[in-house]
Amino acid sequence: MLIPIIVYDSILDITIIFNTTSHLPYIIRSYEDHYVFGRSSNDLLVYDYAPTAGVQFPRHQKQIYNNYAQLEDSVVEQVIVGAEYPSDYFQGSPADKDTLLQAAPIKSPEYSHAELSERNSNLIWGGIYTGTLANISAIHPIKGLTNVWYLKFKDAPNYGQIVVEFEDAVIVADAPPHQGPLVIEWVRQTLGKPITHLFVGQ
């Protein structure tokens, strides 16, 4: 029985498992603390190697989550060695465009690798959420029910928040971790009542 060679980097928290026959990398494994699944493995499978300019290059790549969920499956059809690019090719968008972040991502204790992977699957990092109370607009979405509030964040258009006010308490629907503190502060300043319940949606 052939025993695979396994190399672990404690600084990057990445494990590389080598193919027992070819001795080339087969699995590149990292771990994430997922909000739902907890400690999870995120594997990049690389295989179907072909020589390219004297280097073995994996043409087939798969991303497997927790040893069973396939997230991506891609095939590299062409590898170009020594390609030439304009000097400004990797500079990103001009300074007056906000479609791409101008600076490289930085580590933040507020953002786990799992969240970055799940929420930024388009591979564009939008940066740490920097919203403020001034970005919140609050309305009563149901006519006649002035105790029901709908909060909308102008800088996070995909996010809406329901808040239900009672005489001595407030119920808040589930809030994302980065907008949640602003919701708490809005309730404190606007309603002046404690949040007593969190309604978790499915």
Residue where a domain terminates, one of 55, 75, 95: 75
Q: Is residue 68 part of a domain?
A: yes
Q: Is residue 101 part of a domain?
A: no
CA angle 111, 115, 117 (to 5 degrees): 120
Q: Is the pLDDT of residue 49 over 80?
A: yes
Averaging pLDDT over each range in 40-44, 116-120, 152-156, 166-170, which range is the top one? 40-44
Q: Please tell me the pTM assigned to this model.
A: 0.54
Q: Is residue 127 part of a domain?
A: no
Give the total number of structural domains in the chain.
2
Q: Is residue 123 part of a domain?
A: no
Q: Is residue 29 part of a domain?
A: yes
Single-letter amino acid code for the residue at 78: Q
Alpha-carbon distance 79 to 66, whole Å? 30
Residue where a domain terminates, one of 29, 51, 75: 75
Q: Is residue 150 part of a domain?
A: yes
Q: Is residue 39 part of a domain?
A: yes
Neighbour-count burial for 101-119, b at 16+ CB within 10 Å, e otherwise: eeeeeeeeeebebbbebee
Alpha carbon separation from 164 to 102, 194, 198 (Å, rounded): 39, 12, 10
pLDDT at 86: 87
Note the pLDDT tens digit of each residue in 99-112: 555 455 566 777 77
Q: Is residue 177 part of a domain?
A: yes
Note the pLDDT tens digit of each residue in 3-47: 789 999 988 889 999 998 889 999 999 988 887 788 899 999 999
Note the pLDDT tens digit of each residue in 73-126: 999 988 888 888 888 887 766 655 555 554 555 667 777 766 666 666 555 566
Residues of the domain holding 189? 133-199
